[in-house]
């Protein structure tokens, strides 16, 4: 695959802790993972890492930000931390005064007063920003679903009843995720469906409709 210069930034490492939590709550056992499945999981780690590093929507650490693991009786779980491409909140609200807020301005390194009363132009700019971030997030989800559809059938060692799961720890410092109260994005597909799609017996649209999406 084609690589371009990494543009991502390193985010707080929530993925490792998330996988540990999953290992406690999902069915798991002590059976050894086969060498072949290990290689398949590593391959999918690399492929999904490539997809999200190259993405015009997701902002992730460069290199190989995706971590994969196998949970016996459940399937393969791939996780990573991500933010959205675009601006972040420039300050943190400190307190409300009358018709505005005291805000810490990182660039000026001092507190400033920000009025609640927005001009029509400011409201229009804010609306456009919200719509742009909505589009980026939706397109980012579509990219992940396409990655599942296009590549996850390579996990041929998994049983049909198991799952391939993508878990995204969303950047809680990004203003969009704060406003939407979003912390996690989870997509999962049944291995049997992925295999049938790869064999040509399940259409793209049918497989896409069976991908479960959770966000909270």
159-174 residue pLDDT tens: 999 999 999 999 999 9
Q: Is the model more confident about 198 or about 124?
A: 198
Task: Supply the pLDDT for residue 95.
Answer: 41
Any domain includes 36:
yes
Among 74, 13, 69, smallest CA distance to 45 is for: 69
Per-residue pLDDT tens digits for 3-32: 333 333 344 445 555 554 454 444 444 356
Q: Would you say 120 and 110 are in contact if contact means Cβ atoms under 8 Å apart?
A: no
Q: Name the band, by pLDDT with cuts 50, 70 and 90, for residue 112.
A: low
Q: What is the mean pLDDT of residues 111-133?
A: 67
Cα–Cα distance for residue pair 21/79, rounded to 1 Å? 12
Q: Name the band, by pLDDT with cuts 50, 70 and 90, for residue 62.
A: confident
Any domain includes 152:
yes
**What percentage of the chain has pLDDT greater than the value 90?**
60
Q: Name the band, by pLDDT with cuts 50, 70 and 90, for residue 91.
A: very low
Any domain includes 188:
yes
Task: Supply the pLDDT for residue 63.
Answer: 73
Residues 6+ apart with CB under 8 A from 33: 41, 70
Any domain includes 170:
yes
Inform me whether the pLDDT recorded for 213 exceeds 50: yes
The angle that helices 35-54 and 120-151 make with each other, rounded to 10 degrees, is: 150
Instruction: Specify the number of domains making up the chain.
Output: 1
Task: Supply the pLDDT for residue 130.
Answer: 79
Q: Would you say 189 and 211 are in contact if contact means Cβ atoms under 8 Å apart?
A: yes
Any domain includes 60:
yes
Q: Would you say 97 and 103 are in contact if contact means Cβ atoms under 8 Å apart?
A: no
Q: What is the mean pLDDT of residues 40-44?
A: 97
Any domain includes 109:
no
String of DSSP letters for the chain: --------------HHHHHHHHHHHS----PPPPHHHHHHHHHHHHHHHHHHHH-SSEE--SS---EEEEETTTEEEEEEEEEESS---SEEEEEEETTEEEEEETTTTEEEEEES---HHHHHHHHHHHHHHHHHHHHHHHHHHHHHHHHGGG-TTS-TTSEEEEEEEE-TTSHHHHHHT--EEEEEEEHHHHHHHHTTSS-HHHHHHH-EEEE-
Any domain includes 8:
no
Domain membership of residue 168 as a residue range:
15-88+137-215
Among 55, 34, 12, 27, smallest CA distance to 147 is for: 55
Token duo for residue 120: 């029509």
Any domain includes 20:
yes
Q: What is the mean pLDDT of residues 111-139?
A: 72
């Amino acid at each position: 695959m084609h690589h371009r210069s990494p543009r991502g930034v390193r985010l707080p490492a929530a993925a490792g802790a998330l996988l540990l939590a999953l290992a406690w709550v999902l069915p798991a056992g002590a059976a050894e993972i086969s060498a072949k499945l290990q290689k398949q999981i590593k391959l999918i780690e690399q492929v999904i890492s490539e997809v999200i590093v190259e993405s015009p929507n997701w902002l992730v650490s460069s290199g190989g930000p995706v971590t994969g693991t196998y949970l016996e009786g459940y399937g393969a779980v791939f996780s990573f931390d991500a933010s959205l491409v675009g601006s972040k909140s420039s300050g943190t609200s400190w307190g409300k005064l009358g018709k505005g807020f005291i805000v810490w301005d990182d660039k000026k390194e001092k507190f400033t007063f920000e009025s609640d009363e927005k001009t029509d132009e400011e409201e229009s700019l804010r609306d456009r920003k919200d719509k742009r971030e909505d589009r980026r997030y939706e397109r980012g989800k579509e990219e992940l679903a396409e990655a599942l559809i296009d590549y996850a059938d390579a996990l041929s060692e998994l049983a049909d009843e198991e799952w391939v799961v993508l878990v995204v720890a969303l950047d809680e410092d990004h203003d969009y995720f704060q406003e939407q109260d979003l912390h996690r994005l989870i997509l999962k597909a049944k291995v049997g469906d992925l295999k049938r799609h790869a064999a040509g017996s399940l259409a793209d649209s049918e497989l896409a409709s069976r991908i479960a999406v959770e966000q909270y």
